[in-house]
Structure 1
Amino acid sequence: MSVKCWSKVVARTIAGAIASAAAAASVPTAALAQVPSAQPPSSQPRSFSIPPQPLADGLTAFGRQSGLQVSVDAALVRGQSTAGVSGTLTPVEALNTLLAGTGIVYRFVNATTVTLERPAGAGGAAAPGTLQLDPVRVQGNTPPPQAEIGNLPPVYAGGQVARGGKAGLLGNRDYMDMPFSETVYTDQYIQSQQARTLTDVLAGDPTVRLGWPNGNVFDDRVMIRGILVQNPNYGLGGVYGIVPNQVDTTGIERVEVFRGPTAFLNGALPSAVGGTINLVPKRATDRPITQVAALYLSDAQFGGTADVGRRFGPDNALGVRANATYTNGETSVNNQTAERLSLTLGLDYRGDDTRIDADIGFQKRNIGGFQGGMFLAAGVQLPAPPNARNSSYQPWERLQTDDLYGALRFEHDITPGLTGFIKVGGRRTNTMSVFMNQNIVNYNGNTTVLSAGQYRSMAEVLSAEVGARATFRTGPVKHEAALVGDYLKTMNYSLNNPLAIASSSNIYNPTFIAAPMLTGLNASTPLTSDSLYTSIGVVDTLSFAEDRVQIIGGARLQRLQTANYLPSGLPANGADQAVVSPSVSFVVKPTKEVMVYGNYIQALQQGPTAGAGLTNAGQTFPPFVTNQFELGVKLDFGSFGATLSAFQITMPSSYTDFTTNTLVTDGQQRNRGLEFVAFGEPLPGLKFLGGFTLLDAKLTSTAGGLNNGNTAVGTAPFQVAAGLDWDTPYVKGLGISGRVVYNGQVFLNPANTQSAPPWTRIDAGVRYTFERADGKPLTLRANVTNLFDANYWVATTSFFAQNQPRTFMLSLTADF
């Protein structure tokens, strides 16, 4: 079947699956026992993250996270435990969940105090106003531990990050059981930062460096552990390769950032050596969702969002979640406009032993005066950055993209300890850009035209995964095993129509010229590259001593088949390589608060692909083998957690040769680093998220040893990001936030004779939430990126770009 037919196949499959789910929803299942409700004066939802633990400790955490005073006799809760509670809930809903199965009653003495008492018939009658919980809350449609769908890990204290996330074929795991480094950003964090794009979400990650300054560019490329990671290595609900080139946060519940090579965990991907990013789509909750927001971004961008979710049928088995965002207007960069439309629809079915998820999305962007990369002539030192608000790009430069993407996930519990699953997804992306790459030729900022043209491309992707996960025991040893097979087919079509533009300009005092004539240009998009990545992976986690010691071992057979084509359609070159990649890791928990881990991963990765504007644009280099060693320590004090990791990664080195404007590979790159990430709510209402990265990225085995020992292009030796978010106790509903980001010096060429200087940026925000007369919240948020309007160069490869100027963001969000 042609890859071009993927959208019709996926659409028919999704429609059939949802129709089957609706029919299955009519089958009765175990129902929720009814729990009486009592409303305290405040019913505003809050973020809760209370893991399973003794009930006394859980109530202490509940009091801290809810802001309520809990009064209870210690004898009443002695020996009792709780399954915990997580998510955005009202205090009553959270307390109901926390006390489920205990038989304990409670009543609100006043707006801020709740008292727990013995139930009626157990030492006396309950006081008036007391709520008695059912002795057992039986919830239907609860997925088993080995399932992924419906098993979202709970949020951590403070609500900015989650306790865990997806780790490829290992499934969802708590961060204290994961022998890797991962941070999972929640919807609460995304909203509080007013993050409109993936670039905005990752702006405060201390281990990630953004490849572009804002969301009005080609893609969401980032540097993780000193290695370039791009959108083909991003996943949607664990289906990789189908994410649009520039991610909008519309319809996204969480963003999972995984650090280090992931081919063993996620299958063969185009280039996932530094890490991968997985987007968790939103799902309908038991509570109906109707939320709308009005948006503003400086200088004159206006728009809005809508988020609607409902559940239907017995036990709320069928869910629908629809999201939409539209913004349009002038950005904070002179002569630049941005229009963005994003639509998503998420459907899900939760049966007794079957679960189905489906997502479909459409995204369209139209950027006028878009800012591509700048280049630096050989032997020239990089001049000081211009005012970020004054663009030296031509107003007629343009980027237009549209993405249609979707995914379907199916899980079935074959036995209580065995779950089989199938995932399939696809994407079609169309891109058109009119560009003029500037080449800085002297320290005064004078520029010439390095290349110019109209670039047209289309990408078609079909991605699939099938497998099974099982949990079982052999004597005292618990096993969590998985067997999976992955398929990723990508076809790239592109054509660059060169434009003969001879123009000199200056980055401080640009010369604007008339727009070139685009009539009569070749409108075709011939096939330029074709790739097929297939793999089979197997893994087993052996747990001892009540999971305090875990050993994880496995291997993946990977095969990468690639082909490049000439504009005439004739084959140019290609590769077909297969390798068995082993992996081993361990987890040791000397105490419940401390975990030590280590891992070794070997992976086969596709070589880099030359980007638009280069003379070999679209060329994909042969595959290569990478290796990573990592050791780390994780802490979990309930309200505050941290990860410290040391790693080494080896891989081939690639960079852009300015003399030929060509992407080339030369030698090997060895990255050694130390990462520290901390998160949580160390004090009531005060949330922290930040850390640092120390990186020693060196070139080895270069041609003739010329650049041996030099720092790899685009890597920074030190970077730090630290953010605070404070729910003030003085004014109810008022919160303030601040963040500082520092990035060290970056070399632009392998000889280390050209570099971009370090920079520091400060962001800030304020929000105010209050209840309307109907008890629903209304939230006003104001954020500013680059508070002091600093000017600096953003560099992650051989080329670089101007930073984002000071940008104001306002939103008014209402729930109905």
Structure 2
Amino acid sequence: MSRLAWLPAYGCLTLLCAVTSAKAAPSYAAEQPATLRFSIPAQSLSTALIAFGKQANVQVLTAGRTIDALRSTDVSGALTAEAALTRLLQGTGAVYTFVDARTVVIKPREAETSQAGNAKPLSKPVPVATLLPPIQAIGLVGRDVGFMADVSSGPTRTVSDPIDVPQSVGIVTQSLLQSQQLRTVADAVQNVSGAQYVDGSSGLPIFEVRGFFTGNGMTDGLPNNILGIGDSPPLIGVERVEVLKGPQAILGDTSVYNNFGGLIDVVLKKPQAEPVREFTFSIGDHGQKQAGVDLAGPLNDSHSWSYRLILNGDVANDTVQGMRGQRNRYVAPSIGWTTPDTTFIGGVSWMMNHMPIPDHVILLDDTLSSASPRGLLLDNPDDHTAVETRRLFYLFEHRFNDNWTFRSRAQYVRESIDLKDWLIGGIEPTGDVNATAEHYRSSDAYYVTQNDVAATFGKGWLQHSMVLGFDYSRVQVGSSDDALSNGGGGMPYNIFTGGALPLPDAMLSPSDYASGYSPGSPWVTDSGIFLQDRISLGSYWEVLMAVRRAAYELQTSYPDGTPWNQHKAKWVPNFGVVYKLTPDTSIYANTSNGFQPDTLLGKDNHPLPPSLSRQIELGAKFDVFQNRARLTVAAYRIMLDHSTDLISLQPPYYVVSGPGQSNKGVEVEFNGQVAPGMDLSAAYTYSVIRNNDGTPATSASRQRFNVWASYTFQYGLLRGFGLAGGVLARSRSLTQTSDFTSYIRIPGQADASANVFYRAHRWSVTLGVKNLFDRQLYGTYFDETFVPLRYRRTYMLSGAVDF
């Protein structure tokens, strides 16, 4: 019997629980209460109306003039729906009409005046209305309030209400990032069901979604790192983190590492007219210190010009094992220009991260019980990875009229990596090993552009929102050096009696650098045509159809210098459907396809053949607790014809063609406010991963669970104080030795964290503890030569001040 045969029963049980819990909220047909609690920050009017519709439990329609370029005012407190909407529309020139208790039409004041002057008044309002149109995904999303996101910007290249998207999307909001005292994007993705990260030996994370390594995904919908191994911006510059689940070839993602399970989209903070003057800091118990400044505001009296400037730096003295030298810097200025019809954002960023090699141990007989002592240093204290990333980007959108919009965005990125470390192999139980000094350097550059024309048309029950796009990217993998001491032969060494290892440079000769030199190439060109039609059939059905023609060219050469080029093209279709049982409950289904050309090279110095995949997904979404929380349930199956296996966590990351896979599972996510002052985020994953050749799947915990709760006292002397805590747990998994001859069992584990905080109007401070019970924690993927150690119990003091 299929392991998914029990899913219908499970789904029914989940639906029953969700409907039962939702009874605390007003029903669809119930009379609207006199007052509701609203919390809608000032933002784009389009996203503010989505938030209003959820918090008031009404359907919002628009008529006449486009409202996307308008800005809303702040709305908060206990208000009637009419009072909240009146305040929301102040200064916009728009008015509203309630067609019935659960439907409101937004229209320009001119339209209302014209109707009022008509000699033949209508007995009831009959506006020419359309469903609130999709907002273009220029990166200007609404400000999330609490742990639940009101809009999603990634899956359809437009900003949409998540309940209308026929796909599972995990969103980590700014509030959740701050509540957990997170420092990296890798930490953030662990809040999402089906997503995790693997510790690389260089200190850079490798992401995994639904059983597939995914690289670093995207930034504002554009590739974040074309090689799949790169750095992410610090969280002070991040508005939110989205995890788009399932194959994403339809979006034009060109990074490698089998993006068949999904990808990570990092949405950065943008220029805004509302002033921001914030200083943040954190101090850890191992000498970690971070300080950053976030500045934003208008540049002229009309607020048409705005800016954003983010500065961040963090340093650390020593790691637990004695590694030293962490120095990370980030500078990101940007400028914005907005008119009623046009929005432009341009910016640059520079990131230089100097990270020590992570603390790690080795296994003396391929079991965790044989690990070398935790306090034994297996590198030189100054071994490190230095990654420099320079980025230039722009985002542009222009609305020609109510129906037609043009959007363009592009970025140019140059990045380099410089790694110095010691490779350990040939491990004997006595501690005798072969130690090889390594100095690895590489660089790459790429540019990518996306251009879309969007149109909305239709009347009555049938509405179309179409997007026609063209994407183009070009990548240059630059020259690299992978110098290994003694021509890769290394030297005999005993980890117990050999003493401290010297700096790698001292052990490398000119011939080592010469033999490790690679001239770079290939140039990789990727282009595609994207067509999407989002069809609204009345108030209950949403159909999403999309197709992409992906074309790419690989340029390299044979060993004798003869050019070798490869041209390929592939049609990639996606289809999804949503049925809304009520405005706050939907069920959906989708099928999506993956197509992934590889820019990394195999051992013969030629690219590997493209991989193809297909996903089938069924799910349901519920907005509960008066639309302040969302429950998402999804069941999926992904079928892959062949994989691309990473044969080493060490640069230059050569890959080989591996077996296909069949991944299936169930994911449950809950995010939002369950009571005044009480926010909850929880995710559960049950997955089964099978290799087509019958070999056991690695890095595949069958079950993962995480929960995080935060409570802020609302009244009395404790008002402003709060408590937060949670657990991140997973079941046992397997990993493989470096020679692929045996497997290493990794036990299940749980990591608990907690903090106490105080939040005033202009400042906040948090004292937290990670790994509360001081457990020995391991990653989900490693081999016997490098077992990364995650910190035991650690403490952190963090805070923010508005000035």
TM-score by length of 2: 0.78
Alpha-carbon offset, residue 513 of structure 1: 1.8
Q: Tell me the SS of whatever aligns to 1:590.
A: strand
**Partner of residue 545 from structure 1, selected from 535, 538, 548:** 538
Q: Tell me the SS of whatever aligns to 1:191.
A: helix
Give the partner amino acid of 2:713: T
Aligned to 2:613: 626
Give the partner amino acid of 1:426: Y
Change (3 A) 1:280 1:317: same
Structure 1 segment 643-792 matched on structure 2, within 5 A: 643-651=632-640, 652-655=642-645, 663-700=655-692, 702=693, 708=694, 710-729=695-714, 731-749=718-736, 753-771=743-761, 777-792=762-777
Bigger Cα displacement from structure 2, 96-105 vs 288-297: 96-105
Aligned-partner Cα distance in 2 for 1:794–1:272: 21
Q: Tell me the SS of whatever aligns to 2:160.
A: strand
Aligned to 1:18: none
Give the partner amino acid of 1:366: H
Aligned-partner Cα distance in 2 for 1:174–1:274: 22
Q: Tell me the SS of whatever aligns to 1:383.
A: helix
Aligned to 1:587: 578
Answering whether residue 238 of structure 2 is matched by residue 252 of structure 1, we say yes
Change (3 A) 1:260 1:144: closer
Aligned to 2:213: 228
8 Å contact from structure 2 (residues 755, 767) kept in 1: yes
Deviations 1:199-227 (CA, angstroms, capped at 9, x unpaired): 222233332112128xx944332111011
8 Å contact from structure 1 (residues 419, 470) kept in 2: yes
Bigger Cα displacement from structure 2, 760-769 vs 783-792: 783-792
Query: How many residue pairs align between the two structures?
Result: 695
**Partner of residue 640 from structure 1, selected from 620, 629, 638:** 629
Alpha-carbon offset, residue 340 of structure 1: 0.6
Aligned-partner Cα distance in 2 for 1:248–1:619: 35
Alpha-carbon offset, residue 171 of structure 1: 1.1
Aligned to 1:436: 422
Alpha-carbon offset, residue 608 of structure 1: 7.6
Deviations 1:767-786 (CA, angstroms, capped at 9, x unpaired): 11235xxxxx1211222222
Alpha-carbon offset, residue 571 of structure 1: 6.6
Deviations 1:277-309 (CA, angstroms, capped at 9, x unpaired): 122221244431111123212311223111111
8 Å contact from structure 2 (residues 222, 448) kept in 1: no
Answering whether residue 182 of structure 2 is matched by residue 195 of structure 1, we say yes
Change (3 A) 1:351 1:440: farther
Give the partner amino acid of 1:756: I
Q: Tell me the SS of whatever aligns to 2:136.
A: coil
Give the partner amino acid of 1:513: L
Give the partner amino acid of 1:514: P
8 Å contact from structure 1 (residues 298, 330) kept in 2: no
Deviations 1:215-245 (CA, angstroms, capped at 9, x unpaired): x9443321110111112x3223545547952
Aligned to 1:346: 334
**Partner of residue 478 from structure 1, selected from 452, 457, 463:** 463
Aligned to 1:70: none
8 Å contact from structure 2 (residues 315, 328) kept in 1: yes
**Partner of residue 503 from structure 2, selected from 512, 515, 532:** 515
Answering whether residue 348 of structure 2 is matched by residue 360 of structure 1, we say yes
Q: Tell me the SS of whatever aligns to 2:400.
A: strand
**Partner of residue 327 from structure 1, selected from 305, 311, 314:** 314
Deviations 1:262-290 (CA, angstroms, capped at 9, x unpaired): 11134544232121112222124443111
Alpha-carbon offset, residue 400 of structure 1: 1.2
Q: Tell me the SS of whatever aligns to 2:609.
A: coil
**Partner of residue 594 from structure 2, selected from 591, 595, 603:** 603
Aligned-partner Cα distance in 1 for 2:306–2:135: 22
8 Å contact from structure 1 (residues 54, 79) kept in 2: no
Aligned-partner Cα distance in 1 for 2:731–2:493: 31
Change (3 A) 1:385 1:625: same
Bigger Cα displacement from structure 2, 570-579 vs 193-202: 570-579
Deviations 1:153-189 (CA, angstroms, capped at 9, x unpaired): 4525xx1231232234441111101111112222222
Give the partner amino acid of 1:171: T
Aligned to 1:406: 392
Aligned-partner Cα distance in 2 for 1:63–1:53: 24
Change (3 A) 1:339 1:544: same
Aligned to 2:6: none
Alpha-carbon offset, residue 490 of structure 1: 1.7
Structure 1 segment 305-316 matched on structure 2, within 5 A: 305-316=292-303
Aligned-partner Cα distance in 1 for 2:138–2:766: 32
8 Å contact from structure 1 (residues 405, 425) kept in 2: yes
Change (3 A) 1:63 1:183: closer
Answering whether residue 525 of structure 2 is matched by residue 532 of structure 1, we say yes
Aligned-partner Cα distance in 1 for 2:544–2:196: 30
Structure 1 segment 136-175 matched on structure 2, within 5 A: 145-149=134-138, 151-153=140-142, 155=144, 159-175=146-162
Which consecutive unaligned segments of at least 5 residues does structure 1 have? 1-49, 66-77, 106-134, 703-707, 772-776
Give the partner amino acid of 1:407: F
Alpha-carbon offset, residue 577 of structure 1: 2.3
Give the partner amino acid of 1:477: L
Aligned-partner Cα distance in 2 for 1:619–1:194: 44
TM-score by length of 1: 0.76
8 Å contact from structure 1 (residues 552, 585) kept in 2: yes
Structure 1 segment 208-227 matched on structure 2, within 5 A: 208-212=195-199, 217-227=202-212
Change (3 A) 1:534 1:54: farther
Alpha-carbon offset, residue 146 of structure 1: 3.5
Alpha-carbon offset, residue 585 of structure 1: 0.8
Deviations 1:361-398 (CA, angstroms, capped at 9, x unpaired): 11111123x12887879x84443556767653432321
Alpha-carbon offset, residue 722 of structure 1: 0.9
Bigger Cα displacement from structure 2, 91-100 vs 386-395: 91-100
Aligned-partner Cα distance in 1 for 2:264–2:165: 16
Aligned to 2:445: 460
Alpha-carbon offset, residue 56 of structure 1: 5.4
Aligned to 2:778: 793
Answering whether residue 164 of structure 2 is matched by residue 177 of structure 1, we say yes
Q: Tell me the SS of whatever aligns to 2:236.
A: coil
Deviations 1:299-354 (CA, angstroms, capped at 9, x unpaired): 11223111111113354111101011111122543212311101111221111111
Change (3 A) 1:445 1:221: farther
Aligned-partner Cα distance in 2 for 1:617–1:807: 46
8 Å contact from structure 1 (residues 292, 814) kept in 2: yes
Aligned to 2:401: 415
Alpha-carbon offset, residue 248 of structure 1: 1.8
Aligned to 1:62: 38
Bigger Cα displacement from structure 2, 327-336 vs 674-683: 327-336
Aligned to 2:47: none
8 Å contact from structure 2 (residues 360, 374) kept in 1: no
Aligned-partner Cα distance in 2 for 1:88–1:722: 34
Aligned to 2:49: none
Aligned-partner Cα distance in 1 for 2:567–2:607: 13
Aligned-partner Cα distance in 2 for 1:417–1:209: 40
Percent same amino acid among aligned pairs? 19
Aligned-partner Cα distance in 2 for 1:800–1:535: 41
Aligned-partner Cα distance in 2 for 1:673–1:64: 36
